[in-house]
Chains A and B, each alone.
Chain A
Amino acid sequence: MADAISPPGPAGAVRFLGKEAAYWRLRIKGAGLLLLTLGIYRFWFATDVRRYLWASTEIGGDSLEYAGLATELLGGFLLAIAIMVPLYTAIAAAALTLDTSEEAVAAIGFILLVLLGQLALYRARRYRLTRTVFRGVRFDQHGSAWRYALYALFWWTLVVATLGLAYPWAQAALQRFKMRHTSYGDLAGSFAGSGSALFMRTLALWFLVIGPIICAFVVLGHTVDWDALNKMVTAGESNPLALLTGKTGETVLAVFAAGIGTSLVAALLLYPLFAAMMMRWWISGLRFGSVTAQSLLRTSQVYRIYLRFAAVLVLFLLLTFAAAGAGTFIVDRLLKPSADAKELLASIVTIVLYVVIVLGASTIYQVVVTFAMWRLGVQTAELSGADALDSVCAAGVPSSALGEGLADALGVGGV
């Protein structure tokens, strides 16, 4: 009889009970339906996915519950459309009628859209939190989404201006903002991760990835004959590529290729390490009242996930191209199409291949990387002081799904 009650784990135990096979089925079916409905099915798909992930996550013996409805997401999206359509129209009309330069309108429009995107992300997080129920009590998020958006715009501008050096502090500041405004019932959240600590840990990565590009620019500064270039420009040569002909041009291109190539290879090889660092740092910084989280994630586990992703992706691409090749060959042999029909066939195959590969690669990524990272993050997390979770009083009310809709309309995504 005791077994019939949920298996009681230690108070701080965090477990993930999801099965990859079941998640594959959920994802593949969803991708097929997205294809057939041109994506309109996404509200129901996202809801199914969240229900599965939430229900599979267990803290102290009790699983989370996703209480959101697909119709709420649809409603939020329609509301977002009602807001975005006049806004887009206004931007387009301004670009056509105002005497300002296109660039100015584009810049203002871009900033506005970045702000709206951040606002949407914050409000979407609020929707998800208020739809997350644990032990009969919901999570909540308060705080002004506009303030968050401005704050995020400020920090991201700084990140770009410092070539990414400010990224750790930006992350710490934004996480602090989000967690300070997050609560579970009457238990207030906070974030203890330090930007400086993250900076020290990721600095070597920054040198290896951004360094080669900076080196390329420094080398260029010494090789290019700036005087000659200046003369050419004053002589009326307007074409920048013409300035790069001859020996100097070859050097410039070679230096750039070497710099960007090294940077790309480094980024590719180091990304799993970066993802592991970020996840460890983020989980270990989460606090709810006196409850603290600690991540015991090992970097090698993350590398295993990404290596598996690369292998599955390569296999999928090989199989897809083989199938397309075999299919075309058979049609060629059996139907002996005319030259025109062949070309039409080729364009159809190209379009179908494109859709299959993008949708397939995204499904593989969602299962082999996103799902696996979620599972890994949950399984390697440890809570201390989790007793505080046993007597939390309920608070908060469900929020609207407008944020989700805006995020959707703006293409800044969610789960």
Chain B
Amino acid sequence: MSGMASATNLALAAEAPCAPAVYFDGTSSVRNKVIVAATETGLRIMAAQGQHRVLDEWAYAELRRMSGPEGMLRLARRGETLLARLEIRDAHLTSIIEDRAETLDRGGAAERRLRRKVIGLSFAAAASLIVTAAFGLPALASRIIPFIPLGVEQRLGADIDKNIRPALDSQHLGSAFTCGTATSEAAGRAALDKLVGKLAAAAALPFPLRVEVVRRAEPNAIALPGGHIYVDSGLIAQAQTPDELAGVLAHEMGHVARRDGTRTVLQTAGLSFLFGMMLGDFVGGGAVVIAARTVLKSSYSRRAETAADAYSVDLMQKAGGDPRALGDILARIVEDKDQGLKLLLDHPETKERIAAIDAVAVPGRTEPLLDATDWAALKQICAPVPPKS
């Protein structure tokens, strides 16, 4: 019986191309030295020693190429739960098998096609994420903002203030950080309140405003969520007319009115989700994601600044001030200081801003929002700090 089978096997092997190979049957790690014959219908796997007993037969349609080292064709059987493997290093036999078994994807053309599709789809997904982040998130944030209670925004502002105030107070002045509290500064404080009052009356803001002038040399102002505005003493020093200061205040009130603080929180959270989580973290490639986030964040803040400028122009006109004064003080500040990378990314270019302000501002007869006496008092709102004992 076995003699018969063996004779048939040898006869078949003589007709079909064959070569030695290594076979693992998947039930144990025993290394079987075999002869593989490529018959018309599939591979016949026969023991290399003794009677050339047939160990297994794999049809061409079942063959699956597995990852292996260079110069080896490693085959598995499709749909098999066992990890049976056939490893062929004979180049001639490999070529014959690849010819006969279409599933083996000779030359890897199908694999490359699939891979190109994957790359194309990944690229499309990345592009879609960027477009969503650039346009979808800001639109979504605008829709959500009306549903967020003002109290939440005020609490958020208080939280941010806790963190930002020590950072702003870089000279560690403590209670002396705020201007307008000493008796000598009372007239200045009254003038500021008058100016803010005129603007606020025209603005109808959702929050009670709290404008605080602080001892900081930078010509800057910051609006926190919830209506708290910091005006740096450096800005008051730079302002040549009450309307210039009013223009900046109106710009910050624009951030308050548009609830830009909450908007930033929402947009940053959305961005963190899209870019931090969906794109995940991976060795080195994180840099691309960080760069994309940086660019998107700056695009959000440029849009917010443009909108606040427009708000300022509108509010100044309503309050009867000079809407172009904002542009004047912006130009002076920029001339004074090196326009760094951060400013460039976060704010639209100053020239563009001024042009945009001039374009919407309707020129007309205006008269300063504060008279000369009040303005002189306001300029003195930050008296020199008494030396510390």
A residues whose Cβ falls under 8 Å from a Cβ of B: 1-2, 4-6, 17, 31, 33-42, 44, 51, 54-56, 58, 62-63, 65-67, 70, 77, 81, 84-85, 88, 92, 102, 133-138, 185, 238-239, 241-242, 340, 343-344, 346-347, 350-351, 354-355, 357-359, 361-363, 366, 389-394, 408-411, 413
Contact = CB atoms under 8 A, between A and B. Distances in A.
Nearest to A362: B284
A351 B25 contact: no
B85 A133 contact: yes
Interface residues of B, number: 66
B282 A42 contact: yes
List the 3 shortest-distance A-B pairs measured between CB atoms, nearest first. Answer: A362-B284, A136-B24, A411-B281
B280 A409 contact: yes
Nearest to B89: A4
Contacts of B83: 67, 133, 136-138, 394
A44 B344 contact: no
B28 A37 contact: no
A136 B26 contact: yes
Contacts of A408: 280-282
Interface in B218-273: 269, 273
A343 B279 CA distance: 30
Given A41-B119, A411-B281, A392 B28 contact: yes
Contacts of A238: 174
Contacts of B68: 55, 63, 65
B82 interface: yes
Contacts of A4: 19-21, 89-90
A65 B67 contact: yes
A39 B291 CA distance: 13
A137 B33 contact: no
Contact of B344 (A66, A136, A343, A394): A343
Given A65-B85, A67-B67, A409 B277 contact: yes
A123 to B, nearest CB: 16
Contact of A33 (B27, B119, B279): B119
For the residues of B in contact with A, the DSSP-based class is: mixed
Contacts of B51: none
B135 interface: no
A401 to B, nearest CB: 14
A67 to B, nearest CB: 7
Contacts of A409: 277, 280-281
B285 A359 contact: yes
Contacts of A37: 119, 122-123, 125-126
A92 B276 CA distance: 15
B287 A355 contact: yes
Contacts of A77: 280
B217 interface: no
Among B67, B273, B291: residue with most chain A CB under 10 A: B67
Nearest to B19: A4
Interface string B153-173: 000000100000000000010
B29 interface: yes
B84 A136 contact: yes
Given A4-B21, A136-B83, A393-B28, 9 more contacts: A17-B70, A70-B118, A77-B280, A137-B28, A185-B29, A340-B351, A392-B28, A392-B29, A394-B82
A66 B68 CA distance: 8
A37 B279 CA distance: 9
Interface string B3-16: 00000000000000
B54 interface: no
Contacts of B26: 136-137, 394
Among B84, B126, B285, B349: residue with most chain A CB under 10 A: B285
B385 interface: no
Interface in B106-123: 115, 118-119, 122-123
For the residues of A in contact with B, the DSSP-based class is: helix
Contacts of B273: 85
Nearest to A413: B283
A24 to B, nearest CB: 15
Contacts of A81: 277-278
A349 B103 CA distance: 47
22 contacts: A5-B21, A6-B89, A33-B122, A37-B123, A38-B285, A39-B282, A39-B286, A39-B289, A40-B125, A42-B280, A44-B115, A55-B67, A62-B22, A65-B74, A81-B278, A102-B159, A133-B85, A136-B24, A239-B172, A346-B341, A354-B287, A413-B282
Interface in B52-109: 66-70, 72, 74, 82-85, 87, 89-90
B31 interface: yes
A241 B123 CA distance: 50
A394 B277 CA distance: 38
Nearest to B24: A136
Nearest to B26: A136
A261 to B, nearest CB: 27
B139 interface: no
B345 interface: yes
Contacts of B351: 340
B288 interface: yes
A235 to B, nearest CB: 10
A32 to B, nearest CB: 10
Contacts of A357: 287
B28 A358 contact: no
B289 A391 contact: no
A339 B50 CA distance: 86
A359 B85 contact: no
B295 interface: yes
Given A137-B83, A239-B172, A394-B26, A351 B281 contact: no
Contact of A6 (B22, B67, B130, B287): B22
B339 interface: yes
Contacts of A65: 66-68, 74, 85
B291 A354 contact: yes
Contacts of B295: 351
Given A40-B122, A135-B24, A6 B87 contact: yes
Given A55-B69, A67-B67, A361-B284, A41 B122 contact: yes
Given A55-B67, A133-B83, A5 B33 contact: yes
Contacts of A392: 28-29
Given A65-B68, A136-B83, A359 B28 contact: no
Contacts of A38: 126, 129-130, 275, 279, 285, 288-289, 292
B67 A36 contact: no
B184 interface: no
